[in-house]
Structure 1
């Protein structure tokens, strides 16, 4: 596991008191632990002012919403619901427009209708949105034409433009991230509560997808869904209830200065909640048991995810459970496996078996994106759609053979017509990258590839125990 460390915490500017959480026992113990993937803020005064302001701003999400999500995820761990988590690899400030936000939400809603029918279960809808602004890097620096500058760590830390001014680690960007997240959440809430999410409307969008000759093989399933909706209508189903959906926000809790500043003590329970998002996850690079990220997230009430790569041992998983979910609370802990298509069938069974034998009830989710990254012949970072789908199939096969629950799907996707991942029924080739490759970090499935994945996964869900 690559460890790109920040300077010792003692070399960082002292953090001001946090709103309502300054004296909560243990909440700041992470500051004395090893920490990786953190910025080296250029200006201590700007850092202190930014954290001070963040610490008194209103929460982005509310404790009650977080508790609802925990209950929903507990159902998914039991096989009574399914989690769909999708969105950008790295959000950008410039990309937080109404059109792009609505396109992502629309795509997730379209996918969820198909998955709901395939699973005959509720689908928990969650975006990698309204907070996914920080990205881990394999190197602290980037060199171009003999010039070395800090690597791009996401819009919350520095800019993508390759210049000293842009690449400086600017703590005021955390405030920009907060306000961009707030406006994104406002729009998401309007879309999902104001008729945009009407089941009949979403289904009509999917019918347009299947009318494309490239996707004709999914037309039969689309017709089945159509008949089901017409049947509900003829039975007098209350479509008012079907016009609104729950939609949750998630991101990798990478930038601990930001996460800590947005942690609040809930007045009902007296417990700390990280109000930057409903669901937070720890990445493969930052899940060391005795390091800062695991310690901090072990102390907040949010449901927590952990990314697990192919080198994860059963003992690693058990120790993470003991640290992050010592009370074995349903819905608290999600393991997001990112094995790669070539490893999933070999590596996952032992991991799932060890956890299952321990009696722990975690939610198992597949991330088929991060283990399948390659470089195209013309030099673009990409992923092959067939590899992505093969890892998803392998995930379901393993759980079916073990009699355990394949509980969710975590994908990097967009609602736009980009060209970043190769293949699909309406195939993207590497020449399309020259004009339609837009990601500032990792390649994403485009709108059509995302829907195709949903139809393929629906078939696997229909065979789930």
Structure 2
């Protein structure tokens, strides 16, 4: 009743930059408010319908992409390879897991990052922390680390260009099922898990051949060559989110048109905080990251605040506890939530709770990522909760940022070869696909 798109300013807030020039900030936000929406209300409603199927155990949510998008590394090849990786993983989950997949990228807006400290120190020099390209520069330089409102405009235009490419790839032939099949075969040739992948490949070939024989092909069934991929990011920088919040002219409903789905991080999910208040007033599907300190009562309170009507497909609880804590903490939470009757999606983020230091590099061990994913599914199945999704930081590039993996087998001493992230370590394409095959088996068990 008391919500307005700027009423978040009346609530306590964390993880926000302090802009030195308020006049420049206001001018930038005024320009953003006049720019077209990045996504449309109809697309957002379609996403919620698809996510409602996840709530009902009829589908699985695959959400993944860059830790933090970069102005410097922006380009068509990176976008194409991320699109391709999402499709490859979805194909594996669909065929091996026997389950439709809702595909959401951490893309076209994932520019802001929460930080554990306001300052970074290098060789005795202390500067404000890098908070993502939408706020300040990655270079360890005093001038670069000053927050600049103009970066929001660059983030907007990069997001618009990314969305344009994604829509073109999704509808222009790159998503043709035959093309995806060939991509998977390319991966199979260098895989040590040859037999498992070959079995999947043969099933895809047999299915396509059968459909062709029945007269079902890309010429008369558009869904064989077109897909829907939605966008998401952490709604951290609230001035930017406010500026892109619009009223849908058809239904008079309020949507944050910066992305199809927004989520709130573990560091900003206070029930009486600005981020929860702001997102409670928009109609987008939402996510909330839940760490090891959370309780079932925290999740119930967040559900009441963000999804008071208990809508299907509205709220995604993204578990991120770490491999060492999830088995200890999650069973009690799921046991208490099971009887609440809440229409929630539960997904696993096995990345953020498993970050370790290896020399000068932050990394994540693939074995720990697998361990947390397995525990999430096992606990969910044991407690009668559907483990309905996965949330990954990953890239379509052949980076060396996370150690391990049967296919990549990245060693600690090899991290420096292609350590390209500007924030947290990401799975490379081989590691992500390997994980998809593991998850597919777990999804099949969960749905059975």
Map of 2:295 onto structure 1: 313
Map of 2:25 onto structure 1: 47
1:28 equivalent to 2:6? Answer yes
Which has the larger displacement, 390-399 or 418-427?
390-399
8 A Cα contact 2:338 2:384, kept in partner: no
Map of 2:212 onto structure 1: 233
Map of 1:428 onto structure 2: 410
Structure 1 CA distance, aligned partners of 2:383 and 2:373?
Answer: 16
8 A Cα contact 1:282 1:294, kept in partner: yes
Q: In the TM superposition, what is the alpha-carbon distance from 1:238 to its structure 2 partner?
A: 3.6
Structure 2 CA distance, aligned partners of 1:24 and 1:248?
Answer: 30
TM-score, normalised by the number of residues in structure 1? 0.93
Q: In the TM superposition, what is the alpha-carbon distance from 1:455 to its structure 2 partner?
A: 1.2
Which has the larger displacement, 340-349 or 125-134?
340-349
* Local SS of the residue matching 1:307: strand
8 A Cα contact 1:107 1:447, kept in partner: yes
Map of 1:395 onto structure 2: 376
Map of 1:199 onto structure 2: 177
| RMSD, matched Cα | 1.4
Q: Per-residue CA shift, 1:307-335, capped at 9, x if unaligned?
A: 00111101101100110011101111110
2:360 maps to which of 379, 385, 388:
379
Map of 1:56 onto structure 2: 34
2:248 maps to which of 259, 266, 271:
266
Which has the larger displacement, 140-149 or 331-340?
140-149
Map of 2:202 onto structure 1: 223
TM-score, normalised by the number of residues in structure 2? 0.96
Structure 2 CA distance, aligned partners of 1:463 and 1:233?
Answer: 30
Map of 1:107 onto structure 2: 85
| Paired residue total | 442
5 Å-filtered alignment, 1:63-462, equals 63-218=41-196, 219-239=198-218, 240-376=222-358, 378-426=359-407, 427-462=409-444
Q: In the TM superposition, what is the alpha-carbon distance from 1:285 to its structure 2 partner?
A: 0.1
* Local SS of the residue matching 1:273: strand
Structure 1 CA distance, aligned partners of 2:403 and 2:109?
Answer: 27
Q: In the TM superposition, what is the alpha-carbon distance from 1:25 to its structure 2 partner?
A: 4.4
Structure 2 CA distance, aligned partners of 1:352 and 1:27?
Answer: 33
Structure 2 CA distance, aligned partners of 1:379 and 1:432?
Answer: 12
Structure 2 CA distance, aligned partners of 1:432 and 1:197?
Answer: 34
Q: In the TM superposition, what is the alpha-carbon distance from 1:461 to its structure 2 partner?
A: 1.6
Structure 1 segments unaligned to the other structure (5+ residues)? 1-22
Q: In the TM superposition, what is the alpha-carbon distance from 1:353 to its structure 2 partner?
A: 2.4
Which has the larger displacement, 236-245 or 98-107?
236-245
Which has the larger displacement, 92-101 or 25-34?
25-34
8 A Cα contact 1:250 1:280, kept in partner: yes
Q: In the TM superposition, what is the alpha-carbon distance from 1:162 to its structure 2 partner?
A: 1.0
Q: In the TM superposition, what is the alpha-carbon distance from 1:269 to its structure 2 partner?
A: 1.6
8 A Cα contact 2:53 2:59, kept in partner: yes
Structure 1 CA distance, aligned partners of 2:331 and 2:96?
Answer: 24
